[in-house]
Chain A
Amino acid sequence: MDEFLEQFLIEARELVEQATEDLLALEQSPNDRARLDSAFRAFHTLKGAAGIVDFAAMAHLTHAAEDRLAELRAGKRSVTRALTDDCLACLDQITLWLAAMEETGAAPEDAAAAADALAAKLGAAPETKPAGPPAEALAILREQFALMELPPDAALPGRLGSAARVIANVLHHLGLSQDTDIAALLAPLRPAPTPEPPRVEAHRPAREQNAERIDAIVKLAGELNVLKNALGHAIQTDAAQLPRLHAQLQRLVS
């Protein structure tokens, strides 16, 4: 396990222990301000640590608990057994996640559902997940295709090779397989076609035309994926293939 994760686990366990003691003490003495402040700080620090290790579900859950404790501190609500039980349940769940992280070396991937359920008990809305890859990833991918479409010159192999490396790297960053069907990534990269005058074909049912368009996109994505893998391979082996691959790319994106 790397030192970074090890330190996260050590600190998170200390904070869980601290928050547990504070919440149990609060159940006995609901007006103990020092315990309330200490529990709030523990959840706040846990939230920050979860953010640093990119554990979104844990950050969401600790944020929900932190919000309720903040309301207690502000006098907007009173300490109840139900609330401390819900917060303790969060800590139990976090303890399970930490054990899983110690075993696997990574944040559990199936944590979102448990986090949403516990956060909902605390009155928080489910975490909204962004649809599709982030805009920056799409911008970087779009730039690689612009780079590939430049006219061939002496720098062509280097340009294509670097673009292929970046595409592979962005897919890896997004947690996508290098063999992923990238239609969903490529669709926003292609400009909308210029409207053409009505033709006989335009009278065909829209559903039929859409199906054809989807088929074309899927086919294009498949071919581009093959090209991308070929480019990645070409970097390792034979740069002489690159002009041919570039011509193929131009045909696909034109």
Chain B
Amino acid sequence: MKRVLIVDDSSFVRLFYRDALTHPELVIEEARNGVEALEKMLGQPADLLIVDINMPKMDGLTLLRTLRRQAGALAAIPALVTSTEAAPGDLAAARAAGANYYLVKPVPPETLRRATEMLCGLK
């Protein structure tokens, strides 16, 4: 089983992603912002983070920068950023923060599913 943590302040987006990622080998968890995500990750690390950028309390890029500076395996958890921002500078900022891949919202369910399978290493 692979654990995926969806980090997005929109309950609709979280529901949409959860539905798109219905898969017998995926366990989906949710966090509403970067702080909640860090708390969950310190409790039980996920196999993949799907992260929004603009969120209250702690935004997605701050979350990634914080995570990548942790010690041990926690720092190396793959992260997929999904955002409505599509300018080259946004992609570069996400990469600099440590994002492994970037999809522009709205993300088609099939695209999200395929990217998740590859980033998690599902066949």
Contact = CB atoms under 8 A, between A and B. Distances in A.
Interface of A: 2-4, 134, 136-137, 139-140, 143-144, 146-147, 150, 154-155, 157-166, 168-170, 172-173, 175, 235-236, 239
B68 A155 contact: yes
The number of chain B residues touching the other chain, given as a range, is: 20 to 34
Contact of B77 (A4, A162, A164, A170): A162
A4 to B, nearest CB: 5
A137 B69 contact: no
B59 interface: no
Contacts of B111: 136
A165 B68 CA distance: 13
Contact of A155 (B65, B77, B101, B115): B65
A82 B104 CA distance: 51
Given A136-B118, A154-B69, A169-B118, A162 B95 contact: no
B67 interface: yes
Given A140-B101, A143-B102, A239-B72, A165 B78 contact: yes
Contact of A173 (B71, B79, B101, B118): B118
Given A155-B98, A161-B73, A169-B119, 5 more contacts: A140-B115, A150-B96, A159-B68, A162-B77, A169-B120
A166 B100 contact: yes
B20 interface: no
Interface string B112-123: 001101111111
A137 B118 contact: yes
B24 A147 contact: no
Contact of A164 (B68, B71, B76): B76
Contacts of B58: none
A243 to B, nearest CB: 14
Contacts of A239: 71-72, 75
Nearest to B67: A158
A143 B76 contact: no
Contact of B75 (A134, A143, A147, A161): A161
A163 B77 CA distance: 9
A158 B75 contact: yes
Contacts of B115: 136, 140
A165 B71 CA distance: 16
B77 to A, nearest CB: 6
A147 B70 contact: no
Contacts of A134: 114
Nearest to A232: B76
Contacts of B101: 139-140, 143, 166
A170 B24 contact: no
Contacts of B95: 143, 146-147, 150
A160 B76 CA distance: 7
B56 to A, nearest CB: 23
Interface string B70-109: 1111011111000000000000000110111110000000
12 contacts: A140-B115, A140-B119, A143-B95, A155-B68, A158-B68, A163-B100, A165-B77, A166-B101, A170-B118, A172-B121, A172-B123, A239-B75
